[in-house]
């Protein structure tokens, strides 16, 4: 087998290993999502591929730490240099993308919660010959902006799945909690839940102010006792929703998107009905694989459609299997 063939086979094997590992936050995932770099050894036959991952994650958001873990592990596995950056402000995120372009990175991974704010920066990267893979949010804009692929879950469908489960559980009025203003994916989740569930009210909170978020959820439950279900769109907000429901003496059952240690414990003790699992470790890991294959073999994935990492669902039937991976920081 040729040297390239051996490398290609190895990449394929590692991609499969990544899929096996990442099925959607533990000690390593609970640390702040600081900008860091993880540069691996150069592959034979040339200099190392260097990739910048630029997300809209807020500091300390356990979800994005798992994405970061996936991207950095892929870099180590595949001999790719990976630098991770994040900023919840769309303008600052665009500047991070522009900085990566100026540094002439070999590939770019971008989450697009606010696509319009990032359009120019992403398109400038494409014009500079830098392949872009979008992740998590903004799938409807990915191809139009010139990205070679999108990795994530279709948020509307995920919301529908959550709504269906809550309706099947006998719930009749749902509070859907949006924690990031301007994030189109969160609105799509609540809209999807409404399509499947019916009676849905939305509540805007700020994830960077957890105490206020809990207070707002508690106030909504106290002002409308007919609300019997709360859908959080983030694992950290879910813990606040559980506390809010308890302090409000509400009968509302909490469900959530995404996992962390608190959510895993909540599913086990029954305070959280289920978690919608978008397997964000894959959202970090797979784009690095895709960019390496694109650069070395002109491969693409998805055929113009998103590469889906979810939705899956974690509840009492499978939490014992998933919980150890949450602790490890890969779910």
Residue 38 neighbours by CB under 8 Å, 6+ apart = 72, 75, 76, 81, 82, 83, 84
Q: Which two tokens stand for residue 305?
A: 């459609």
pLDDT in tens, 65-122: 999 999 999 999 999 999 999 999 999 999 999 999 999 999 999 999 999 999 999 9
Place of tokens 């139009």: 144
Alpha helices per DSSP H over 171-260 = 184-197, 210-223, 235-247
How much is the pLDDT for 21?
39
Q: 198 near 164, Cβ under 8 Å?
A: no
Separate counts of helices (H) and strands (E) for the chain: 12, 13
How much is the pLDDT for 182?
85
What's the rounded Cα separation, in Å, for the pair 266 and 247? 16
Q: Which stretch of DSSP H or E encloses residue 230?
A: strand 229-232
Return mean pLDDT, the chain. 88
Q: Which two tokens stand for residue 266?
A: 């909540």
In terms of pLDDT, which residue wins out, 175 or 60?
A: 175
Q: Which two tokens stand for residue 217?
A: 């959820």
pLDDT at 269 over 80: yes
How much is the pLDDT for 15?
46
pLDDT in tens, 279-321: 999 999 999 999 999 999 999 999 989 999 999 999 999 999 9
Rounded to 5 degrees, what angle do the CA atoms 13, 158, 55 make?
65
pLDDT at 11 over 70: no
Average pLDDT over residues 18-23: 39
pLDDT in tens, 234-259: 999 999 999 999 999 999 999 999 99
Confidence of residue 47 (pLDDT cuts 50, 70, 90): low
3-state secondary structure of 267: helix
pLDDT at 179 over 50: yes
Q: 90 near 121, Cβ under 8 Å?
A: no
Confidence of residue 181 (pLDDT cuts 50, 70, 90): confident
Confidence of residue 14 (pLDDT cuts 50, 70, 90): very low
Percent of the chain with pLDDT over 90: 82
pLDDT at 203 over 50: yes
């Amino acid at each position: 087998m040729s040297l390239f063939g051996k490398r290609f086979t190895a990449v394929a094997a590692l991609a499969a290993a990544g899929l096996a590992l990442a099925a959607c936050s533990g000690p390593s995932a609970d640390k702040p999502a600081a900008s860091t770099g993880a540069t691996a050894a150069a592959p034979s036959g040339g200099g190392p591929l260097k990739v910048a991952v630029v997300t809209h994650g807020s500091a300390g958001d356990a979800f994005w730490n798992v994405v970061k873990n996936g991207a950095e592990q892929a870099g180590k596995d595949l001999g790719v240099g990976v630098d991770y950056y994040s900023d919840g402000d769309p303008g600052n995120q665009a500047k991070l993308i522009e900085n990566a372009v100026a540094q002439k990175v070999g590939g770019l991974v971008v989450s697009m919660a606010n696509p319009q704010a990032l359009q120019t920066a992403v398109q400038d990267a494409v014009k500079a010959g830098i392949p872009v893979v979008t992740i998590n949010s903004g799938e409807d804009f990915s191809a139009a902006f010139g990205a070679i692929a999108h990795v994530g879950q279709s948020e509307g469908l995920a919301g529908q799945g959550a709504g269906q489960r809550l309706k099947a559980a006998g719930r009749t009025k749902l509070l859907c909690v949006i924690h990031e203003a301007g994030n189109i994916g969160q609105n799509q989740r609540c809209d999807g839940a409404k399509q499947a569930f019916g009676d849905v009210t939305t509540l805007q909170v700020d994830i960077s102010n957890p105490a206020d978020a809990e207070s707002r959820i508690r106030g909504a439950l106290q002002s409308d006792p007919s609300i019997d279900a709360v859908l959080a769109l983030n694992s950290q907000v879910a813990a606040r929703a559980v506390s809010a429901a308890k302090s409000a003496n509400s009968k509302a059952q909490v469900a959530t998107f995404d996992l962390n240690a608190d959510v895993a414990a909540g599913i086990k003790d029954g305070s959280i009905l289920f978690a919608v699992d978008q397997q964000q470790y894959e959202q970090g890991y797979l784009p690095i694989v895709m960019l390496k294959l694109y650069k070395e073999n002109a491969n693409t994935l998805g055929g113009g459609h998103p590469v889906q990492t979810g939705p899956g669902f974690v509840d009492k039937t499978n939490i014992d299997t998933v919980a150890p991976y949450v602790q490890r920081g890969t779910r």
